Structure 1
Amino acid sequence: MNDAPPLSREDLIAAMSKGIKPRAEWRIGAEHEKFGFDRTTLRRPTYDGPNGILAMLTGLQRFGWSPFEEAGHVIALERRNSEGMSASISLEPGGQFELSGAPLKDVHDICSETGQHLMEVKQVADQLNLGFLGAGFDPMWRREDVPVMPKGRYVIMRAYMPKKGSLGLDMMLRTCTIQSNLDFESEADMVLKFRTALALQPIATALFACSPFTEGRPNGFLSARANVWTDTDPDRTGMLDFVFQDGFGFERYADYALDTPMYFAKRGDRYVDLSGQSFRTFMTEGLPDLPGERATKKDWADHLTTLFPEVRLKNYLEMRGADGGPWSRICALQALWAGVLYDGAALAAAWDLVKDWDIADHERLRRDVTRLGLRAEVAGRSVRDIAVDMVTIAQRGLKNRARFSGGMVDERGYLSELEDIADSGVTPAERLLDLYHGEWEGDVSRMYRDFAY
């Protein structure tokens, strides 16, 4: 039994609207995932063992990270910075190593945090004969080759995913992404940012496309990671046509979440399998698997993390369209979205790029960029041309932000790699394919040598 008062509709909306904050308090939060591998065999590391994921988590504690356990297993680490902001290292289902960075003031701080993390990871990994690779999709290993991490929620998700789509297990076990988390100052500001970012997410997918290989061979995609999301679970993924409709706001997103089937509820260290059941019913009537209980605010917060649209609303907005990649592109994604969304003139210019697209455009573009990248088209324009405009808008936004490093350099420098990709029209995935057909002579294992962190 829990003694918390029943949830109200106002509680659901408040969980998201509490993210409203004045511009001076806006922050950027970066998240990135990476594949670990044994340097001798290139196989993904197991959780246990002398050079496993647990050994990595243990080794990193020397740098001030504190362990978090679930059912006797260390599954995450946490550390606070000098301002008291918390960052965490967590595990994706197949052992993908994720840094969820602290909310920081600018891209300079983000890149410093990322660099420190990767250097700490490399020090420990070197001692364990491990390496780490940034890419959107595992380039070599089959699903059945990937060790599964001991986290309760993943047991439930692994059982449920195949009921909803053919690629959900690939999403869990074989993909990595980079994300950017950003704030809003009002409901209206959230709506404009959500609409603009959602429409532009496929453009980011093209710019960051870095997953052209599956099981050692070209897979026909530039972003196999993005393609996975098109057949994972239609209830909780996609372009959310209602976001572009009149009246969209916190309440409408709450309705979407209420109508998305649940995965679980967590009670202590135990995950209760509620897959496919209604949060709305859990809130109002309760569910047979938790007799006498009603949904809590914590249940709602957990439920929001199980929605996977291209942009996700919690008490901030998550940009979810980019493949994993090298250190430079982790920083670049933060600069791209901060430049577009954190300056009023830039946000207005970005909305002008996409405001006339309809939902059919959004859905078609989302699918087309997985194979065509910057060669895809929407509303009579190439994605390459739109990407050039998007990067230019971001540069102007970052110039207007005027956030300088100790060397008195603003944030625009982090966009240089994206500027090159957009101007050339050649995605990172196509550059990998050129290496595969040329210098690598068809040997995808070279990727681990040439592109490991």
Structure 2
Amino acid sequence: MSNPGEADLTPITSVRQLAEWFAQGSKPRAAWRIGTEHEKFGFRRDDLSPPPYEPGGIRAMLEGLERLGWEPILDRGKPIGLKRGNASVSLEPGGQFELSGAPLEDLHGTEAELADHLREVREVAAPLGLGFAPLGFHPLATRDAMPWMPKGRYAIMRQYMPRVGAMGLDMMLRTCTVQVNLDFGDEADMVEKLRVSLALQPLATALFANSPFREGRPNGLRTLRGRVWTETDPDRTGIPPVVFEPGFGFERFAEHVLDVPMYFIMRQGQWIDATGSTFRQFMARGLPGHPGIGATMGDWADHVTTVFTDVRLKRFLEMRGADAGSPEMMVALSAFWTGLLYDDAAQKAAAALVRGWEVAEMQALRVAVPEGGLATPFRGATVRELAHVAVAIARDGLRARGLGEERHLAPLERIVESGETQADRWLRLHATEWGGDVSRIMAAAAV
């Protein structure tokens, strides 16, 4: 597998070249696919502690999956991921195990892929005494108790994060997400999809809230993960106003990303710290202390992955606002956004729902929903009422696809009808059956 940054050594000569990189993601409708990614916390079943990289931990998990037909991805000789076909397994900084699913034609394929992956994980994890639980924020471990994975770029990020936000290291070590990656047809389609999904991302954050505990106690929030992202790095997170400005498109987004501070580049298999420069400065004058190194398209592709907006534009759109959750909720996340954005009528209905919303309102809602959840007020209604409308639009969109995919929205329909999210359920169990023992969540959430 090619090293990051060294897969494409084409020199960068213009901003238009960078905009074209995004534009190359445009696809005809028949080629649109659904790619689902999710993360989960490993834990030792005997004491619930997070497993180290080695011995008997995350490395052993990777090597066990390798025996099932996965190919290793190495960093300085150590396995830090796996690849099989168009799917991959990767590690987040604290050892969170991530499946990046293949681009699939429908949600039934997503469900089957997830089931196969979890079956393999259980098969490998059982002899190691490990379990895996998809939750938005680690409910038990302190930051210091989390291990660090041996990925070179994480060492650079570990030093940088405390300079720019109070919870950046928590984001790296103690959060898990589920996201879906969706395609766009052309620039106009990208713009509408990006605007709709950014506007509705706080709603998804509330619907998928699944992190009400911290270090063995209720934290006062429905989604601590949602709060973490408001205190990580304002230069690269949130809802960027540029998306809603007149004339926005691929080139305007490229201009925005050019001014995001860099983390790193790779040369000759080695990570180079680039945190003192924006990409625009790197293009103009190289990196201080590294004469002769110029910006390449491979560097640009890497840099785009370090932009952590609530919806990230790459050569597709990544919906990034949700806590990791139960397997059915993982598929429901993909169902929600596929229903809203892969049918013309549903997409127009979703665009009408958010029409007139100001960026400042969306940003304020994003800050409010981690605590208020579905009860958060917004524009004369509550997030729960808006979610009811959005889920109904998604159902219509899935029904129009004619594949029977609307059944995957069932868990969201239960949430909007009852008002009880995954987080609310955990809090109810904590106050009743668990007798205040938060540690019981690990077995209850284990997949």
Query: Normalised by the size of structure 2, how large is the TM-score?
Result: 0.97
Query: Within the alignment, does 1:442 sit opposite 2:423 as a pair?
Result: no
Query: Within the alignment, does 1:218 sit opposite 2:211 as a pair?
Result: no
Deviation at 1:356, TM superposition (A): 1.5
The CA distance in 2 between the partners of 1:346 and 1:280, in whole Å, is 38
Q: 1:304 is matched with which residue?
A: 304
Query: Within the alignment, does 1:9 sit opposite 2:31 as a pair?
Result: no
1:265-302 Cα distance to aligned partner (Å, 9 max, x none): 01133110011312112112212232112110000000
Question: What is the identity, as a one-letter code, of the residue corresponding to 2:346?
Answer: A
Question: What is the identity, as a one-letter code, of the residue corresponding to 1:338?
Answer: T
CA contact (8 A) 1:274 1:289 kept: no
Q: Of residues 57, 60, 63 in structure 1, which corresponds to 2:62?
A: 57
**Correspondence 1:213-362 to 2 at 5 A:** 213-362=213-362
CA contact (8 A) 2:11 2:295 kept: no
Question: What is the identity, as a one-letter code, of the residue corresponding to 2:49?
Answer: R
The CA distance in 1 between the partners of 2:356 and 2:283, in whole Å, is 38
1:377-424 Cα distance to aligned partner (Å, 9 max, x none): 211111001100111000000000112xxxxxx101100000000111
The CA distance in 1 between the partners of 2:144 and 2:248, in whole Å, is 42
Q: 1:406 is matched with which residue?
A: none
The CA distance in 1 between the partners of 2:169 and 2:11, in whole Å, is 37
Deviation at 1:46, TM superposition (A): 0.4
1:239-279 Cα distance to aligned partner (Å, 9 max, x none): 11111111111111111110000000011331100113121
The CA distance in 2 between the partners of 1:267 and 1:227, in whole Å, is 35
Q: 2:382 is matched with which residue?
A: 382
The CA distance in 1 between the partners of 2:126 and 2:24, in whole Å, is 42
Question: What is the identity, as a one-letter code, of the residue corresponding to 2:41?
Answer: F
The CA distance in 1 between the partners of 2:251 and 2:257, in whole Å, is 10
**Correspondence 1:396-407 to 2 at 5 A:** 396-403=396-403
Q: 1:407 is matched with which residue?
A: none
Q: Of residues 68, 71, 91 in structure 2, which corresponds to 1:66?
A: 71
CA contact (8 A) 2:11 2:297 kept: no
Q: Of residues 16, 32, 35 in structure 2, which corresponds to 1:26?
A: 32
Q: CA RMSD in A?
A: 1.0
Query: Within the alignment, does 1:413 sit opposite 2:411 as a pair?
Result: no
Between 1:307-316 and 1:243-252, the stretch displaced more is: 243-252
Question: What is the identity, as a one-letter code, of the residue corresponding to 1:21?
Answer: K
CA contact (8 A) 1:7 1:295 kept: no
Question: What is the identity, as a one-letter code, of the residue corresponding to 2:285?
Answer: E
Question: What is the identity, as a one-letter code, of the residue corresponding to 2:251?
Answer: E
Between 1:227-236 and 1:260-269, the stretch displaced more is: 260-269
CA contact (8 A) 2:15 2:255 kept: no
Say which SS state the counterpart of residue 191 (structure 1) adopts.
helix
Question: What is the identity, as a one-letter code, of the residue corresponding to 2:82?
Answer: L
CA contact (8 A) 2:286 2:293 kept: yes
Q: 2:3 is matched with which residue?
A: none
Q: 1:83 is matched with which residue?
A: none
Question: What is the identity, as a one-letter code, of the residue corresponding to 1:400?
Answer: A
CA contact (8 A) 1:7 1:297 kept: no
**Correspondence 1:53-202 to 2 at 5 A:** 53-80=58-85, 86-202=86-202
Between 1:310-319 and 1:375-384, the stretch displaced more is: 375-384
Deviation at 1:4, TM superposition (A): 4.1
The CA distance in 1 between the partners of 2:289 and 2:365, in whole Å, is 41
The CA distance in 1 between the partners of 2:221 and 2:61, in whole Å, is 32
Q: 1:48 is matched with which residue?
A: 54
Unpaired runs of 5+ residues, structure 2, are 1-5
Question: What is the identity, as a one-letter code, of the residue corresponding to 2:152?
Answer: G
Question: What is the identity, as a one-letter code, of the residue corresponding to 1:79?
Answer: R
Deviation at 1:6, TM superposition (A): 3.6
Say which SS state the counterpart of residue 275 (structure 2) adopts.
coil
Question: What is the identity, as a one-letter code, of the residue corresponding to 1:54?
Answer: R
Question: What is the identity, as a one-letter code, of the residue corresponding to 1:428?
Answer: Q
Question: What is the identity, as a one-letter code, of the residue corresponding to 2:17?
Answer: D
Q: 2:41 is matched with which residue?
A: 35
Question: What is the identity, as a one-letter code, of the residue corresponding to 1:429?
Answer: A
Question: What is the identity, as a one-letter code, of the residue corresponding to 1:336?
Answer: F
Q: Percent of counterpart pairs with the same letter?
A: 54
Between 1:128-137 and 1:2-11, the stretch displaced more is: 2-11
CA contact (8 A) 2:114 2:327 kept: yes
Aligned length: 440
CA contact (8 A) 1:261 1:277 kept: yes
Say which SS state the counterpart of residue 393 (structure 1) adopts.
helix
The CA distance in 1 between the partners of 2:121 and 2:135, in whole Å, is 17
1:165-208 Cα distance to aligned partner (Å, 9 max, x none): 10000000000000000000010000000000000001111110
Deviation at 1:5, TM superposition (A): 3.2
Say which SS state the counterpart of residue 67 (structure 2) adopts.
helix
Question: What is the identity, as a one-letter code, of the residue corresponding to 1:8?
Answer: S
The CA distance in 2 between the partners of 1:243 and 1:166, in whole Å, is 26
CA contact (8 A) 2:73 2:79 kept: yes
CA contact (8 A) 2:10 2:298 kept: no
Question: What is the identity, as a one-letter code, of the residue corresponding to 2:62?
Answer: L
Q: Of residues 432, 438, 444 in structure 1, which corresponds to 2:426?
A: 432
Which ranges of 4 or more aligned residues in structure 1 deviate by more than 4 Å?
none
Unpaired runs of 5+ residues, structure 1, are 81-85, 404-409
The CA distance in 2 between the partners of 1:155 and 1:359, in whole Å, is 34
Query: Within the alignment, does 1:364 sit opposite 2:364 as a pair?
Result: yes
Deviation at 1:145, TM superposition (A): 0.2
Between 1:344-353 and 1:280-289, the stretch displaced more is: 280-289
The CA distance in 2 between the partners of 1:268 and 1:22, in whole Å, is 37
CA contact (8 A) 1:26 1:182 kept: yes
